[in-house]
């Protein structure tokens, strides 16, 4: 969903990754804020592209232990990616996040992005809307924990 031709797009890098999975154990070092969601947020937010120094800091934030967790292959490659697709739809098209699992993934990403040096991703994620299926009302992702 991120525009790879956008000057704001940042290529994925494993430079400085502070955690690693295990082929033997079937685990991955999974990004909480995925590169795909990060690039969707960056390429669909106002402002100039990052310079080289800011990109290096951003890559460091993405690969820090605060943004990585050890997960099963399935949890990373299937569950997280499916939920990320819902979050990216909300970023790109403005659709409300309508499933509990995607909203939970989105709030994890928002909270992890709050630790980043650049506030763009946290701001973009926090402004997404979440649909409460029980009430039919929406709230901002940044306030999601207050609505659970």
For the segment 3-51, what is each residue's pLDDT rounded down to a tens digit? 788 889 899 988 888 899 888 888 989 999 999 999 999 999 999 999 9
Give residue 82's pLDDT.
96
Inter-helix orientation angle 81-93/35-43, to 10°: 0
Residue 46 in domain: yes
- Taking the C-alpha atoms of residue 61 and residue 122, their distance in angstroms, rounded to an integer, is 12
CB atoms within 10 A of CB 64: 17
Residue 20 in domain: no
Percent of the chain residues topping a pLDDT of 90? 73
- Residues 52-58: contacts with CB under 8 Å, at least 24 apart: 54/117, 54/118, 55/10, 57/117, 57/118, 58/10, 58/116, 58/117, 58/118
Residue 140 in domain: yes
Residue 6 in domain: no
Residue 2 in domain: no
Taking the alpha carbons at both ends of the chain, their separation in whole angstroms is 28
Residue 113 in domain: yes
Residue 88 in domain: yes
Range of the domain at 121: 27-147
Number of structural domains in the chain: 1
Residue 8 in domain: no
Which residues is 68 bridged to in the sheet?
31
């Amino acid at each position: 969903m991120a525009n790879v031709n956008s000057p704001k797009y940042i290529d994925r890098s494993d430079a400085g990754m502070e955690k690693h999975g295990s082929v033997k154990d079937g685990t991955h070092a999974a990004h909480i804020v995925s590169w795909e969601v990060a690039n969707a947020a960056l390429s669909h937010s106002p402002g100039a592209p990052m310079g080289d120094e800011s990109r290096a800091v951003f890559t460091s934030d993405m690969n820090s232990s605060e943004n990585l967790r050890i997960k099963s292959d399935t949890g990373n490659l299937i569950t997280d990616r499916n939920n990320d697709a819902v979050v990216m739809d909300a970023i790109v098209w403005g659709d409300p996040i309508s499933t509990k699992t995607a909203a939970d993934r989105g709030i994890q990403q928002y909270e992890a992005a709050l630790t980043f040096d650049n506030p763009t991703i946290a701001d973009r994620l926090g402004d997404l809307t979440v649909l409460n299926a029980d009430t039919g009302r929406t709230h901002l992702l940044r306030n999601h924990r207050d609505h659970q």
